[in-house]
Amino acid sequence: MPASIPADSVGLVSPQTLHCTTPLALDCGRTLAQYELVYETYGTLNANASNAVLICHALSGDHHAAGYHDLGDKRPGWWDSAIGPGKAIDTNKFFVVCPNNLGGCGGSTGPSSINPETGAVYGPDFPIMTVPDWVRSQTILADHLTITQWAAVVGGSLGAMQAMQWAMSLPNRIRHALIIAAAPKLSAQNIAFNEVARQAIQSDPEFHEGHYTQHNTLPRQGLGLARMLGHITYLSDQAMKEKFGRDLRSGSLNYGYDVEFEVESYLRYQSESFVNRFDANTYLLMTKALDYFDPAKAFNDDLAVAMANIQAHSLVISFTSDWRFSPARSQEIVAALLQSDKEVSYAEIEAHQGHDAFLMPIPRYMEIFETYMQKITVGAA
Amino acid sequence: MPASIPADSVGLVSPQTLHCTTPLALDCGRTLAQYELVYETYGTLNANASNAVLICHALSGDHHAAGYHDLGDKRPGWWDSAIGPGKAIDTNKFFVVCPNNLGGCGGSTGPSSINPETGAVYGPDFPIMTVPDWVRSQTILADHLTITQWAAVVGGSLGAMQAMQWAMSLPNRIRHALIIAAAPKLSAQNIAFNEVARQAIQSDPEFHEGHYTQHNTLPRQGLGLARMLGHITYLSDQAMKEKFGRDLRSGSLNYGYDVEFEVESYLRYQSESFVNRFDANTYLLMTKALDYFDPAKAFNDDLAVAMANIQAHSLVISFTSDWRFSPARSQEIVAALLQSDKEVSYAEIEAHQGHDAFLMPIPRYMEIFETYMQKITVGAA
């Protein structure tokens, strides 16, 4: 392995693609006749396939959770801090699978893919996906990999909702659910922020009702606004204060509308880099999947009843400064699990980083995460 | 008075206009050679002009704080709950003055006014105003009304910053400062939300770098987005939950991007009605005045030193669920006032409405407000 890659990295990795030709029925009533799932794996599946861990990604994530695609990569995968030899999700022990969600823009079939029925880009015609839809598609991947039961399904934020859904929908295919920085459903405020983000994208004249690809353009401004707004909700007030305070770029006010405060500069940069890598229709779809997630709804809003069939043991983790999905929201999940007599551990991590804390190598968080994963029993290699 | 107007209303009111021809030097270095201030008054100024109360408005407010302009008005002025005969600011006792701020769009000179030097609309050429600029312009109005000292200067949010500024800049012209739902300066998060709002307006193709009037258009989408975003920050998560929860408009999900949740419908309605009454350049300017407010900056970030010259007594009020300017921010003001040995009373009001609580007739809030105002001594009528 090249010297420039850290020893505790999974190293150079390559995405793989599963071509699925069995139609997938979706919650919206439509069916995907065929689709591709792009995924990465780290570590080695053991003989009885008992050491497989599924990583579910959040709104802007993808299948590249750990390691490097190329020696020139500036950064490793998005959860490299937690996945690798000797890390919380120890790839010496576990076989880790991370797919890009359907509807995503990382390679799996989504709005920016070609619709085989029309030969044109799906764009806005791609169906809106739900968390249960994703779980169904992930079972196809599990079957393909001969994994009948995940040792654990792990995710943060929207990823955690998938872990919860796995435990509820397929109780005998998951032994442990790691539910990090989650909520059992979005609040009206959460939905409101998503709606402003969607309006920003949809009102961009370059959006062309989602057909921007056909117009050889991109709704850059709208997607950029959505990202800036999202970013504010991922960080805590405290984290922003520590990062930027009220520092001025030039040292003095200019009484104009160019960048003045450091935080403005940061937001513009984040926005710019995001629009170069992310698809606007995917962004819309992901926010809808978030808004729609509400497993208790079909059970008279009783989450404990929704969770009655769960067999998995759960670890729920929240972060003190997360105001997007506050510790109180995680505690709703814990309360429902306890009420339905499930095995659950809960940790509230002191952290100033806000919702984004779930991606950070915070020592106490990593310690709890690692200890839990170490206790999971797997068969012989 | 017509039967349709409540007995505790100031009744039908008419704005007045002060034409100012003495140049006003601004913090940005520019000078307004002439300008108009539109204002309303309620009650009667007593013989020694000792019963005058100045109301300072916030971002989207104006001079119409109480009463009705017309019998057909659906709503009274924006702070009618607090101003009127027998109300917290009792117009039987006080002479109340409320101007529209310079740079506003309620009638005072602002971006949508004609620049007398060019004969064209100011648009983006209107100078960015600061809180101290507003206080200077308000002293001209006070002089015109023969008010040498305000019995009280009262404001919420950005209005409270003006009350603070009055107490600091003109200590012998103000006896009481009522500082409601305020912060001594914006946090990085506050600035970030303002920046996203500005970007939304400025990236609207109908903005035309602020010259939308000349193009016979309006940046409706951008201003609407800014308003929706602002609205989320004015309400608490709890208030939104109580108002909308996750209620669906049609009762079921439609797997599309039209309005589905009640909260989406509400935001779109708020946005629509706002863009019909508010000027985008004014919105930009107001957010900058908020960002710039930082009285401690010139005093080595020591607010107590900045407040050293204050003679006014202060009442500081915060609201438990206000996450835009949380109680902790009001407490910073109280701490600085105490540290510099000033008279200050502080009340934290239990309220679920968020930042908007300052506009609501919350019984305990109104009781404290009224009691404080009643104790203010004024001369004989």
Comparing C-alpha atoms, which of B190, B141, B195, B149 is closest to residue B172? B149
Chain A residues 271-290 within an 8 A CB cutoff of chain B: 284, 288
Would you state the structure tokens that stand for residue A198, as one six-digit string?
A: 């969607």
pLDDT band of residue A325 (cuts 50, 70, 90) is: very high
First CA to last CA across chain A, in angstroms? 23
Q: How far is CA B165 from CA B23, B137, B151, in A?
A: 21, 12, 15
Q: Give residue for tokens 């009605």.
A: B273
Comparing C-alpha atoms, which of A112, A133, A161 is closest to residue A24? A133
Length of chain B, in residues: 381
- Positive/negative CA dihedral, B113, B114, B117, B123: positive
Please tell me the predicted confidence (pLDDT) of residue B250. Answer: 87
DSSP state letter for B27: T
Q: What is the pTM of this model?
A: 0.96
Residue A323 has pLDDT above 70, yes or no: yes
DSSP per position, B95-112? EEEEEPPTT-SSSSSSTT
Q: Is the ipTM of this complex over 0.90?
A: yes
Q: Is A284 helix (H, G, I), strand (E, B) or coil?
A: helix
Chain B residues closer than 8 Å to A235 by CB: 189
- Cβ within 8 Å, pair B224-A263: no
Secondary structure in 3-state letters for B255-296 = CCCCCCEHHHHHHHHHHHHHHCCCCHHHHHHHHHHHHHCCCC
Q: Is B180 helix (H, G, I), strand (E, B) or coil?
A: strand
Residue B272 has pLDDT above 60, yes or no: yes
pLDDT in tens, A339-365: 999 999 999 999 999 999 999 999 999
Comparing C-alpha atoms, which of B105, B107, B140, B103 is closest to residue B15? B107
CA distance B346 to A168: 50
Chain B residues closer than 8 Å to A123 by CB: none
Residue B98 neighbours by CB distance under 10 Å: 29
DSSP state letter for A261: B
Q: Which residue of B has its CA nearest to A281?
A: B257
Please tell me the predicted confidence (pLDDT) of residue A381. Answer: 67
What crossing angle do the helices spanning B220-234 and A188-202 adopt, rounded to 10°? Answer: 170
Chain A residues 145-204 within an 8 A CB cutoff of chain B: 185-189, 191-193, 195-196, 198-200, 202-204
Q: CB–CB of B57/B36 below 8 Å?
A: no
Q: Which residue type is seen at B17?
A: T
Comparing C-alpha atoms, which of B344, B350, B375 is closest to residue B365? B350
Report residue B259 CA to chain centroid gap.
31
Which range, of A38-47, A242-251, B326-335, B353-362, averages the lowest pLDDT?
A242-251
φ/ψ bin of A168: left (φ > 0), alpha (ψ from -120 to 50), beta (otherwise): alpha
Residue B111 has pLDDT above 80, yes or no: yes
Would you state the structure tokens that stand for residue B350, as one six-digit string?
A: 């239990």
Comparing C-alpha atoms, which of B65, B89, B85 is closest to residue B77? B65
Cα of A251 to nearest chain B Cα, Å: 12
pLDDT band of residue B80 (cuts 50, 70, 90) is: very high
CA distance B107 to B346: 35
Arithmetic mean of pLDDT, B118-127 = 96
CA distance B370 to B94: 12
Residue B194 has pLDDT above 80, yes or no: yes
DSSP state letter for B381: -
Q: How far is CA B102 from CA B35, B145, B265, in A?
A: 8, 18, 33
Longest dimension (CA), chain A: 68
Element (H, E) at B52: strand B52-56
Arithmetic mean of pLDDT, B141-152 = 98
Chain B residues 221-240 within an 8 A CB cutoff of chain A: 221, 224-225, 228-229, 232, 235, 237, 240
Beta bridge partners of residue B174, listed in sequence order: B150
Q: How far is CA A205 from CA A5, A12, A156, A223, B258, in A?
A: 43, 41, 33, 12, 17
Arithmetic mean of pLDDT, B97-122 = 97
First CA to last CA across chain B, in angstroms? 23
Chain A residues 312-341 within an 8 A CB cutoff of chain B: 323
Q: Who among A189, A203, A253 is closest to B232 (CB)? A: A189
Beta bridge partners of residue B20, listed in sequence order: B35
Q: How far is CA B338 from CA B222, B304, B308, in A?
A: 42, 8, 10
Q: CB–CB of B316/B346 below 8 Å?
A: yes
Beta bridge partners of residue A190, listed in sequence order: none
Cα of A372 to nearest chain B Cα, Å: 33
Pairing of strands A152-156, A176-180: parallel
- Cβ within 8 Å, pair B245-A186: no
Q: CB–CB of B315/B350 below 8 Å?
A: no
DSSP per position, B33-46? SSEEEEEEEES---
B92 reaches A (C-beta below 8 A): no
Q: Give residue for tokens 């996906």.
A: A129
Q: What is the dihedral of CA A59, A60, A64, A65, to 10 degrees?
A: -60
- Cβ within 8 Å, pair A191-B228: no
pLDDT in tens, A88-134: 999 999 999 999 999 999 999 999 999 999 999 999 999 999 999 99
Residue B380 has pLDDT above 80, yes or no: no
Q: Who among A191, A243, A245 is closest to B263 (CB)? A: A191
DSSP state letter for B149: S
pLDDT band of residue B379 (cuts 50, 70, 90) is: confident
pLDDT in tens, A184-243: 999 999 999 999 999 999 999 999 999 999 999 999 999 999 999 999 999 999 999 999
Residue B26 neighbours by CB distance under 10 Å: 20
Q: Which residue type is seen at A304?
A: A
Beta bridge partners of residue B315, listed in sequence order: B178, B345
Q: Give residue for tokens 């012989």.
A: A380
Report residue A312 CA to chain centroid gap.
20
Residue B2 has pLDDT above 50, yes or no: no
- DSSP-H helix ranges across B170-256: 188-202, 220-234, 237-243
Q: Give residue for tokens 């939300």.
A: B193
